[in-house]
Amino acid sequence: MKTAKEIRVKADVKEVLTKLGIRYKERGTEIQAQCMSGTHPDADPSWSIHNEPMTDRHGLFHCFGCRWSGDIFNLVRKVKGCTFLEAVEFVGKCKRSRIEITGKDATEEDYMRTFNTREAYPIEPPKGLRPIENGTLCMKYLAERGVGREEIDLYGLLDWRWRSRVFVPITRKKMLVTWIARSYNESNPKILYPKGEKIGTHWGLFGFDQVADYSHAPKEASLSEGWISAIRVAQAGFRNSIAVCGAMLTEEQAEDLAWTEKLIIWKEGDAAGKVFMKDVMLWLAEREVEVVSMPKGKDPADFIPSQLKQLYNRR
């Protein structure tokens, strides 16, 4: 089964536009058309989509009038008013990217999980993990960061004692998708990932399993860069607190947020925070977005819950 990105980079953009009834003009490697966001008149087309097959840019669009951005699946969902799964099927049936969806009873969640399946899925955790006990260096580090026993149990944090690290599992349906391990004695590197992995290629979102039932929950989520930040935001009373565990939001992670209608972005006060915001606006531009900006050099983990509420009120 192909991933969403593989389908997108091979998509026949012109055929998709034609089937959607969108009239267009070609301008080199871009295709221009009237914006379909429905938020502004666009007599002089300000919307364009990249037409560079087999490149990362292929199938991505942007409107210079209303700043609506996204990928070809976002476009199909907007025009047809369909689900993510239906948009994938629609694009996949176009010539260059023809695919088949197997299983009559397959749901959107099942198909999204297929996108997030790798050969080694679920992956194996490292050896030597232990429960986090009171009085240990691991517990002391977490307590200093405001993480208590309730959060340790909720998120399944463990002590990788012989490496002096907090083991942070990132799961989907209780299956281990990936993990990070944060040093609690400031040894380098501060963070370890599964062998051969880079955080920018991660499929999972920290806290995804703690969204009890996102098909019925308020379709709102808080999105942070770091896992401790996500915990602190949850402590401040913001539901569905999730983290990308890095400064990048990948396309695959964005797919896991397809159920959201509103996002509260907890933007860190550094250059990485600006990069993070660009990714958010690229992949999640259709959502209602509120931005809570941290002071320079700070992130949500640096504040107590009451202070985060005050920062939110000044969003």
Architecture in CATH of 4-106: Alpha-Beta Complex (3.90)
Q: Which of 274, 272, 269 is nearest to 299 (CA)?
A: 269
pLDDT at res. 107: 42
pLDDT at res. 164: 93
Provide, rounded to the nearest whole percent, the portion of the chain with pLDDT above 70: 85
Q: How far apart are CA 119 and CA 203, in angstroms?
A: 13
Q: Provide the residue type at 155 as one letter.
A: Y
> Can you tell me the mean pLDDT for 24-53?
88
Over residues 159-172, the pLDDT tens digits come to: 999 889 999 988 87
CATH topology for 208-313? Dna Topoisomerase Vi A Subunit; Chain: A, domain 2 (3.40.1360)
CATH topology identical between 4-106 and 137-197: no
Domain covering 137-197 in this structure, CATH number:
3.90.980.10
All structural domains of the chain with their residue ranges: 4-106, 137-197, 208-313
Which has more confidence, 314 or 175?
314
Contact 27, 96 (CB under 8 A): no
To 5 degrees, how large is the angle CA 76–CA 82–CA 84? 75
Over residues 29-39, the pLDDT tens digits come to: 889 999 998 88
Over residues 198-223, the pLDDT tens digits come to: 443 456 789 988 885 555 556 888 99
Over residues 246-303, the pLDDT tens digits come to: 777 777 778 788 788 888 989 888 877 777 788 787 777 777 888 898 898 888 999 9
Q: How far apart are CA 8 and CA 196, in angstroms?
A: 26
Whole-model pTM: value is 0.61
**For the CA atoms of the chain, what is the radius of gyration?**
21
